[in-house]
Amino acid sequence: MKNEKGPELLDVRALTAKVAGVPILKGIDLPVRAGEIHAIMGPNGSGKSTFAKVLAGHPAYEVTGGTVRFQGHDLLTMEPEDRARAGIFLGFQYPVEIPGVSNSAFLRLAYNTVQGARGKDELDPLEFDDFIREKMKLLDIDPAFLDRSVNEGFSGGEKKRNEILQLAVLEPKLAILDETDSGLDIDALRVVAGGVNSMLKPDNAFVLVTHYQRLLNYIIPDYVHVMEGGRIIKTGGKELALELESRGYDWVVDEYRAGEQEKGYVGASAA
């Protein structure tokens, strides 16, 4: 963990949410400061992806309680596009295909919209072409990407690289990457990790949602959180990820339950 602390970017408190009437998030607290990398790990169905989507404002998820402040603003009242313009980026676990819309047109519109909202200059198609080709070179992405339809016919690895390219183009303050590592071969994993490492700056932060420790061999997190049953049940440093890799999740869950029982016992006796 780092000693000098950046300004607070995100402050999640007691966040609860449901989808299709089913409660998924049951009280999440998470502070994220600039310059930090957080990893959220946990078994399938623990609510990791839901948490990522709720932060980005997916309309299918209903927030039922708690607060989320982003750079001091109430994030939960903002539309998804306004969150994006303010600097929230979600790297999708399953990026959708958009037939007929070229990657370059999509990227340019997204870039210019976000730049405009941030009071910066928009780029015309030629300027943007220079800009994007530079980014692609850095990320070792084939320029042929630009002429293809967004994600259409892309392999799993290509889709994830495309997410990282969008991340590089939009330069968000807070990037949430939802299982960006899943389904990647080792080369693609290196590209993704290299992208994240090169983009981390003192004024931005990353939240990596991941099921496996593998990604964390390439990206060293400041914090590792374990999620289970819609709550963060344990927070530690990077060594926690290694421990999870060797011991699995069960012991954390057991430890948490024992702790809760104890609290319940203490609470009962105090009353």
Judged by the rule CB under 8 A, the positions of this chain that interact with other proteins are 56-60, 79-81, 83-85, 89-90, 92, 95-96, 98-102, 105-106, 109-110, 113-114, 117, 149, 166, 170
Q: Phi and psi of 104, rounded to 5°?
A: -70, -40
Judged by beta carbon, residue 121 or residue 239, the one nearer other proteins is: 121
Integer-rounded Cα Rg, in Å, for the chain is 19
Q: Which residues of 5-14 are buried (b: 16+ CB within 10 A; e: fewer)?
A: ebeebbbbee
Q: How far is the CB of 63 from other proteins (least distance, A)?
A: 15
Strand 8-19 relative to strand 22-33, pairing: antiparallel
Distances (CA, A) of 132 to 116, 123, 163: 17, 11, 14
- How far apart are the C-alpha atoms of 163 and 150, rounded to whole Å? 10
Q: How far is the CB of 185 from other proteins (least distance, A)?
A: 24
Q: One-letter amino acid identity for 88?
A: I
Q: How far is the CB of 247 from other proteins (least distance, A)?
A: 35
Q: How far is the CB of 110 from other proteins (least distance, A)?
A: 4
Judged by beta carbon, residue 47 or residue 95, the one nearer other proteins is: 95
Which residues sit opposite 25 in a β-bridge? 17
Q: How far is the CB of 18 from other proteins (least distance, A)?
A: 17
Contacts of 261 (CB under 8 A, 6+ apart): none
Judged by beta carbon, residue 110 or residue 138, the one nearer other proteins is: 110
Q: One-letter amino acid identity for 56?
A: A
Judged by beta carbon, residue 98 or residue 258, the one nearer other proteins is: 98
Q: Which two tokens stand for residue 109?
A: 């519109």
Q: How far is the CB of 128 from other proteins (least distance, A)?
A: 15
Q: What residue has token string 């998820």?
A: 61
Q: How far is the CB of 56 from other proteins (least distance, A)?
A: 5
- How far apart are the C-alpha atoms of 44 and 229, rounded to whole Å? 10
CB-CB contact of 51 with 254 (8 Å): no
Judged by beta carbon, residue 98 or residue 220, the one nearer other proteins is: 98
Judged by beta carbon, residue 81 or residue 124, the one nearer other proteins is: 81
Judged by beta carbon, residue 73 or residue 263, the one nearer other proteins is: 73
Which residues sit opposite 231 in a β-bridge? 228
